[in-house]
Amino acid sequence: MKRAAPGELAPVLYHQTVASFSMPEWAVAAGYDGVILDLQHGELGLEAACGILRSIPRDNAYAYARVGSLDPAPILRLLDSGARGIVAPTVESRSRAEALVAATKYPPAGNRSLGPSRPALYPGDSYTGAGNRAVSAVAQIETRAGVDRAEEIVSTPGLDSVYIGPADLAVSHGLPGRGDWEDGPVREAIAHLREVTAAHGVTLGIYSGRPEYAAGLLADGLIDYVGLGIDLVLLNRAFGDTIAGLDSARSARSNS
């Protein structure tokens, strides 16, 4: 994940938890830049995720996948299918960040096996060099312990980005699992992670379910990109809004 250049829009992705090939296409058509296929939560499995990745155009730099663990085998499958970023959950130590880089990058930066199974995935003079530039290793920091060890995590060679999970971070502080904190330890953690990532040339993103909250973080220069919404939550909201528009007519009919 590269920081947007002056004049460029900050990237916006969404979390996908269901096995839909058409949803990324609809999201991009609506203005999203890409997707985080979520294999940690929801019903999306490895086979479906690999198929979805192959359906996304190669030039989309924001076809990401969040894995449930740092097992290199499924990470390799996702990368060979075209994932441009691997998001590792609950990174709380330098060793986990190093394991993420090792699974995501080709030697000498990491240990990713060379087995291209999708043609022209990384064009350039050096396939491995182009692959390492094209693929982002993203450490998700979502606990108090991760924030406390931010310096050792963010300074890991080969790490490209940090992604904040604000609701879990709030829970780790004994707070309700909300994501839209304007003050308190979660907001302080966001500011701290901004300082640490900026010092090491690493980008910073966050999950948010509220566009106005994410807009404020972007305006304040605290984040570089956002994961905005989850497919099922967005669908639930659309279902609710749609059926609510018929409530008065249904009520009037039932009272007649």
| DSSP 3-state of 16 | strand
Which residues lie below 8 Å from residue 67, measured CB to CB, with a gap of 6+? 39, 40, 74, 75, 78, 86, 87, 88, 89
Question: Catalytic one among 41, 173, 192, 200?
Answer: 41
Q: How far apart are alpha carbons 113 and 5 in whole angstroms?
A: 32
Q: Which amino acid is at 105?
A: K
**Residue 147 · residue 91 · CB < 8 Å:** no
Residues forming beta bridges with residue 112, ordered by sequence position: none
Active site residue 15: no
Q: How far apart are alpha carbons 227 and 59 in whole angstroms?
A: 19
Q: Which two tokens stand for residue 51?
A: 């198929």
Q: Which two tokens stand for residue 55?
A: 């359906």
List residues with catalytic annotation: 41
